[in-house]
Chain A
Amino acid sequence: MILREKRNIVYKNENLFGLYYKLVYICKEVYGVCAALGASTNIISISYLLIMETKNKMTAEQSLKLINETIENNRRVITKKNGSYYILWGILLSVISLVIFFLWDKTGSAAWNLLWFSMPIIGHPLALLLDRGEEKVPGSFLSRLTAWIWGIFGVFSLSLALIAFFWVPMNLSLVIILLFGFAECISGITLKSWPVIVSGLIIGLGGAVLAAGVLATSASQILLFTLAGVVLILTGVLIKIQK
C-alpha cells in the first residue's frame, strides 16, 4: 500500500526528486533480479562440482587396479633404466678384457692386467653422460640397492687385485668371476628379472670352474670376462625390451 502510494507520488511528480526515487526503485528491482540470478548460478556451480567429483570417484576394484598398474609401470621404468647401465658396462668389460687378452697373449706379460683399473675411470664419466641423455627417472630404493651391489663388487674386485699384486698372490680370475656371478644374481633378484639371475649363475659358476681348471695359467682366462661382458649386454637388452 505504502509502496503503491510512493510509486504514485513518483509518477505524479516529474521534478528531480521524483526522478531520483524512480531510479532508486528501478535499481532495487534490478538488484533483486541479479541477486536471484547469482544465487541460482552458485547452485548450478556447486551441483556441477558435485557431479564431477562423483564421476571421478572409483569402485574399490578400480582403485586397487590403478594402484597396482601405477606401481608396476613405475618399477618397469626404473628397471629399464638399469638396462642401459648393463649395456654400457657390458661393452666396457668386453672391450677392455679383449684388449688385455691380446696384449697378454702377444707379450706373455700378465702386467697388462693393470689396464683393469682404467675401467672405472672410463666407465663412470660415460655413465654420467648416459644419465643426461636418457629420460630422467626418479631415484628409488631399488635403483640405490642395485647401484650399491655393483659398487661393492667393484670395491671387492679392486681390493683383491691390489692384495694379489702386492701381498698374497691368488687366482684372481676365479675369485672375481665368482663375485661377478653373485652380484648379477642378487641384482636379478632385486629387479625380478629371470634373465639376469640365470646369466649370473652361468657366468659365476661356469666361469669359476674354467678359471680353476683348464684356464688357470693361461691368458685365455681373461676371455671369461669377455663372455661376462657379452652376457651383461644381452641381459641389458632383454631388460629394455621386456614388456
Chain B
Amino acid sequence: MFKKLDPLLHSELRLAVMSILVGVDDADFVYIKNKTGATAGNLSVQLDKLSEANYITVKKGYKGKKPCTTCAVTDVGIKAFEEYVEALRDYIARPDKE
C-alpha cells in the first residue's frame, strides 16, 4: 500500500516554498518570490495555506521603514516534508504496482 501524498505539499509552488525554507533559518517574502518566480498575490495565498496548516510561520515586521514579511519552517512542516519525500520515494521505488 502506498503512503498517502500530502495534498498541501503536492502543489508546485507550495513544494518549492517548503524546499527553500527547509534549507535556511528563515527567508523574506521577496527572496522566496524571486526564487520561485511566483506573483506576489499567488505566493501570498500559498503562504497563508501553509501557515494555516502550521507548516510555516509568517512574521510581518519592518526593516527601517519598509514592511518585511519573513517566513520560517516549523517542526511540523519539517516532519510533513520528510514524510512527503518518503512517500515520493515509495512511489518511485515501486512503479510496477501503480
Shortest C-beta distance, B72 to chain A (Å), equals: 9
| Given A64-B89, A67-B85, A139-B25, 14 extra CB contacts under 8 A | A57-B10, A57-B11, A58-B10, A58-B12, A60-B88, A60-B91, A63-B10, A67-B19, A70-B19, A70-B20, A74-B19, A136-B30, A136-B31, A138-B31
Shortest Cβ distance from B98 into A: residue: A60
14 contacts between A and B (CB under 8 A): A56-B11, A56-B12, A58-B12, A63-B15, A64-B85, A64-B89, A66-B19, A71-B19, A74-B24, A75-B23, A138-B26, A138-B31, A140-B24, A140-B25
C-alpha gap A74/B73 in the complex (Å): 15
> At the interface, yes or no: A242 with Cβ under 8 Å from chain B?
no
Measured in the bound complex, the distance between the Cα atoms of B24 and A75 in whole Å is 9
Tell me whether B16 is interfacial, beta carbon within 8 Å. Answer: yes
Q: Are B23 and A140 in contact (CB under 8 A)?
A: yes
Interface string of B85-97 (1 = CB under 8 A from A): 1001101100000
B22 surroundings in chain A (CB, below 8 A): 71
Q: Give bound CA distance, A78 to B89, whole Å.
A: 27
Tell me the A124-147 residues at the B interface (CB within 8 Å): 136-141
Binding site for A on B (CB under 8 A): 5, 10-13, 15-16, 19-20, 22-28, 30-31, 35, 84-85, 88-89, 91-92
Chain A residues contacting B30 (CB-CB under 8 Å) are 136
B residues near A67, Cβ cutoff 8 Å:
15, 19, 85
Q: How many residues of A contact B (CB 8 A)?
A: 23
Check if A73 is an interface residue, CB within 8 A of chain B.
yes
Given contacts A63-B10, A64-B92, A73-B35, contact A139 B16 (CB under 8 A): no
Q: Is the CB of A74 within 8 A of B92?
A: no
Question: Nearest chain-B residue to A139 (Cβ)?
Answer: B25
Task: Decide if B19 touches A136 in the complex (CB within 8 Å).
Answer: no
Report B68 CB to chain A, min CB distance, Å. 10
- Among A60, A75, A78, A139, chain B packs the most CB atoms within 10 A around the CB of A60
- In the bound complex, do residue B19 and residue A138 qualify as a contact, i.e. CB atoms below 8 Å apart? no
Residue from A56, A63, A64, A138 in contact with B24 in the complex, judged by beta carbons closer than 8 Å: A138
Residues in chain B near residue A53, CB distance under 8 A = 11
With known contacts A58-B10, A70-B35, A73-B35, A136–B15 Cβ distance under 8 A: no
Residues from chain A with a CB closer than 8 A to the CB of B24 are 74, 78, 138-140
- Chain B residues near A56: list those with CB within 8 A: 11-13
Judged by a CB distance under 8 angstroms, whether A61 is at the interface is yes
User: How far does the alpha carbon of A73 sit from the alpha carbon of B88 in the complex, in Å?
Assistant: 21
How far is A58 from B13 in the complex, measured between Cα atoms in Å?
A: 11
Q: CB < 8 Å: which of A63, A64, A71 contacts B23?
A: A71
B89, chain A: closest CB distance, angstroms: 8
Per the bound structure, the CA–CA distance linking A137 and B26 in Å amounts to 10
Query: In the assembly, what is the distance between CA of A53 and CA of B46, in Å?
Result: 13
**Which residues on the A side are within 8 Å of B28 (C-beta)?**
136, 138
Most chain B CB neighbours (cut-off 10 Å) among A61, A64, A70, A140: A70
Q: Of all chain A residues, which has the CB nearest B72?
A: A138
Distance in angstroms between the alpha carbons of A74 and B31 in the assembled complex: 10
Tell me the smallest distance from the CB of A123 to a CB of chain B, in Å. Answer: 24
